[in-house]
Structure 1
Amino acid sequence: MENNRQHCAQSTLYYDGHCSLCTREMARLAEFKDTGLRLQDIHQLDDFRGLPDRDTLLRNLHLKTAEGRLLTGVDANVAAWQGTRYRHLVGWMRWPVVKPVADAVYRWWARWRYRRLYGNNGNQQQ
């Protein structure tokens, strides 16, 4: 029963398995994460209940917390790394002075990555 409760209390990080950089980061995160985080390739996802559509998920990193909150972008990345021994290396990205810059850089990178993989019209490689 304890194991079942622990599984239900997981946060889930949704990532683009067609993005080589994303896949490398998830492999690295998988080495260090605790059992409270599940990594989910969006392209392997069949059930989108309670989530944005596939295209929206592909445009930005998303993390659904165990409590059901949906975090995106840098917030999702920082939350994912909080369950590792490297949590102190990412927390600074949420400092008030750094947050707007980190968010702007992430938005630029996310748009560039999406256009490179899927083009401007959003046609996805399924």
Structure 2
Amino acid sequence: MHLTLFYDGMCPLCQKEMQHLIKYNTAKHLAFVDIMDPEFPEKYPHLDWEALNNRIHGEFSDGRVVTGLDCTYWAWKLVGKGWVYAPLRWPVVRWFADHAYNIFAKHRYKISYWLTGQERCPRCELKNQ
């Protein structure tokens, strides 16, 4: 199973998570695509950039799309660490977790600033993609 992650490369917290995923992606089940890359619209004209910018998206090799915490869960599961996010997918917890994620996604730059002192990465780049 292969999952392509579409993430915000200008978000410091998003960058940190992608860096951790890259470290654990030894079996190469994940690919990483920065939606802030200037060439993104040319490479992926079939994707809705606004939707991708509103929340993380992933596309499986069979074309299925997952978003938000479902995407995050699958990414971590594919690197052998799904247990970290599994509780957020439990039925009762899921509703609250998804609402919290939507708030985070909408305010990710401000939250990044509070947590890291950096609102946006000047042009973060992931290594070993």
TM surpasses 0.5: yes
Structure number with higher relative contact order (C-alpha < 8 Å, ≥ 6 residues apart): 2
Q: Deviations over 1:16-59 (max 9, x none)?
A: 0000110011001100123121011112223224422x222111
| Alpha carbons of structure 1 residues 92 and 42: separation in structure 2 relative to 1, 3 Å | same
Determine the structure 1 residue equivalent to 2:13: 21
**CA offset at residue 115 of structure 1?**
7.5
Equivalent position SS for 1:71: strand
Contact 1:14–1:57 (CA under 8 A) maintained in structure 2: yes
Contact 1:42–1:57 (CA under 8 A) maintained in structure 2: yes
Q: How many aligned positions are there?
A: 110
TM-score, reference length from structure 1 = 0.77
TM-score, reference length from structure 2 = 0.75
- What RMSD in Å do the two structures reach over aligned CA positions? 2.3
Q: Which runs of 5+ in 2 are unaligned?
A: 113-122, 124-129
Contact 1:58–1:114 (CA under 8 A) maintained in structure 2: no
Contact 1:59–1:114 (CA under 8 A) maintained in structure 2: no
Counterpart amino acid of 1:82? K
